[in-house]
Each structure stands twice: as C-alpha cells, then as structure tokens.
Amino acid sequence: MPDGAPWHYLDTAATAQKPQAVIDAMTHALGRDYATVHRGVYSRSAQMTLAYEAARKRVADFIGAKSENEVVFVRGATEAINLVAQTWGVTQIGPGDRIVLSTLEHHSNIVPWQMLAERTGAQIDVCPLTEDHRIDLGALEALLTPRTRLVALAHVSNVLGSVLDARVAADLAHSVGAKLLLDGCQAAPRMVLDMAALDCDFYAFSGHKLYGPTGVGVLWAREEILDAMPPWQGGGSMIERVTFEKTTYAPPPQRFEAGTPMITEVIALQAAIDYVDALGPEALFAHEAALATTLRGELRNLNSVTLFGPEDSAGIVSFALQGVHPHDLGTILDEENVAIRAGHHCAQPLMDHLSVPATARASFGLYSDESDIAALLRGIERTQRIFG
C-alpha cells in the first residue's frame, strides 16, 4: 500500500498477482525482443516465432497434451468455450439434442450453450449439487440420454472451491457418446493437469488466473476433434490459400488463430507456467487448501457466518455474514487493506440455489499466508461492531 501498510490480497480466484518473472518476460517481449510472428523473414521475427511456438509446446507439456497441435491460443476461457460452441457445437448439435451443465457453472459456461441451444433447437439439462455443494455425479448419470451431445462442467468451482471428479464425469459422458468440456480456470493454477488421465474432450483456462497476463488463454481439444472443426473467425494466418472463388484453411491450431496473435501475452504465459511448475502444483494446492481449512474453522466459530461449499475446498471460501450485504463487508474490509470478492461471482444460478443475492469470497494464492486470514478476521470483527 502507498502508506507502507501490508495489503492482504484474497481475490486470486478472480485474477492472480503476477510474479516478477512474468513481468520481466512481458517487458522483454514488448521491447528488446518484439517482432511479429509467422510473417517476417527477418531474424527477429523468426526468433519471436520460435519463442511463440515454444510456448505452445510448453503449454502442451504442462497440461499433458499429446501434441502442441492440440493447443489453441485464445483471449481467455470465455473465448475458448464460445469457440467450441460456435464451431464444434454448430456442426454437432441439432434440434432435440441435449447439453448438460451444472448448477454451479460460471456464466461463461452457461451463456454460450444457451445461445447455441437457441440457434439449433437443442435443450439444456442442469445437474444439481450434493448437500455439500459438489456436482452430483449420480444425478449426472441419471440425466444422460442417447441424445446428450455435450457435458460442460467446471473442474473446480470459482465460488465454492469444490473439485469435480473429472475422470468419472468423462466416463459417464462417454458412456452415452457425449463429449466432455471442462472449465479449468480454477484448476490450472493449482492442480496437476493430464489430459490423457482426465479423458475429457475439451479443456479451457485463462492465463491471468495462472499468474500470467490478461488477454490470453488456452483451448485444448483432441487433435481429431480439432481437425473436424470449421474455423470460427476469418482473416490472416488461418488460411492456406485465398481466392475470390474459394478459400482453403490451415490445419489446427492455426485454423483457429485468425489475425495477429497475442504475442507478448503468450510469451509471458510460458513464464507463468514455468514459475508455477517450479513450485509444484501439488504443493500449491496443499498450501491453499490448508489456508482454506483454517479459515473455514475460524469462520465456523462465528454464529453470524454461513459457510458454503465442501470442507475440502481448493483454496476458495465463500460465506455470508448475517445482516451485512457482502458489498458492505467488502467495502469495510478494503479500509482494513483486505481485498475480497463480493457479489454473485458470475454464477447467478448458483446464488439462486444458495438463496442469497451474493456471497463474500476469500480466495488464496501461492503468496497467501495466515496473516491474510488474521487480517480478514479483524475486518469481519470490525464490520460486526459497525453493524451492531
């Protein structure tokens, strides 16, 4: 803070603070190393192209992809999911087909499918939650039919921190011939990812939640699925040959990366992945989950607090303070140099399910420690005094 007081950042689920290595990588890519990619024949352009494609290979290794050709760079998970809906979805989903979502999904994993359903005549089914706020896989199994074409679920809930048993979800989806898409925004920064082990068909995540920059994200899909998908946007780089009579398209992933890409952001994303990988995703998960367990224990001692989500949440704790709107709590906490998220967290159907207009959410990152919990508890105590 400007006055030298410590700042307690508890909003990593919204966006992560950036390590110096990421800032340095972005700075060098914007300055010393900058050139366009895939176009110039001069040496700096060639070097930047090599770095850009090396980042794609690094992403593929990080998530356990079979090949870097399965990695499409996008602006974020929102764009990734929309890309799947408007390419694969338009060609594979028709009238009477069914798309399964869950109650806890982020709007980015709801609205694109609603738009697709309106366009194609498909129907959306909603999988309920268990009593401890996990996606109910038993209910999912009962929802699936031979007309189910897609199951789209959060790998980790951005509100509740609940972790999906993704492999079971994949087995269930595949048992009726459906594809599984996973929203991995909250999983990618804190879990070991292995696309083969997960056995999903699409995986999406955003760079800025993975300690990287905004404006870049990843769509992974099986190579054979990408091969069969039509392009989404037209322009430079995604073509083989253009004439006024006919255009032929480049193979994936270039087919889905029209125009000048997010060059510097991709370079910085690689730096973020290197940083997280060096610390170890398993260690990060354990660190954040332990802090979440500690915070839940402290909050449970306050009669005026309602907790949401499972006991073993992945570094995310949502709660409500009786008689205090989360926005008011967030404002008072800000005066105490504590930053939390207050609102519906882009998950309004989940808020309806929880029977609250909003929640307060504390989310931990690799830089979080118990001093952040202590500051949050002091802020809650002060809020309770103010509100009587």
Active-site hit among 127, 185, 200, 346: 346
Tell which residue, 354, 369, 365, 253, has the closest CA to residue 306.
354
> Helix 20-30 to helix 263-279 angle, to the nearest 10 degrees?
160
CATH 3.40.640.10-classified regions of the chain: 20-278
DSSP 5: -
With tokens 């056995």, the residue in question is: 199
- pLDDT tens sequence for the chain (388 residues): 666 789 999 999 999 999 999 999 999 999 999 999 988 789 999 999 999 999 999 999 999 999 999 999 999 999 999 999 999 999 999 999 999 999 999 999 999 999 999 999 999 999 999 999 999 999 999 999 999 999 999 999 999 999 999 999 999 999 999 999 999 999 999 999 999 999 999 999 999 999 999 999 999 999 999 999 999 999 999 999 999 999 999 999 999 999 999 999 999 999 999 999 999 999 999 999 999 999 999 999 998 999 999 999 999 999 999 999 999 999 999 999 999 999 999 999 999 999 999 999 999 999 999 999 999 999 999 999 999 7
> Helix 111-120 to helix 77-84 angle, to the nearest 10 degrees?
20
| CATH for the 280-387 domain, from 3.40.190.10, 3.40.50.300, 3.90.1150.10, 2.60.40.1190 | 3.90.1150.10
Clarify whether 346 is annotated catalytic.
yes
CATH 3.90.1150.10-classified regions of the chain: 280-387
Domain 20-278 has CATH 3.40.640.10: yes
Say if CB 206 and CB 185 are below 8 A apart: yes
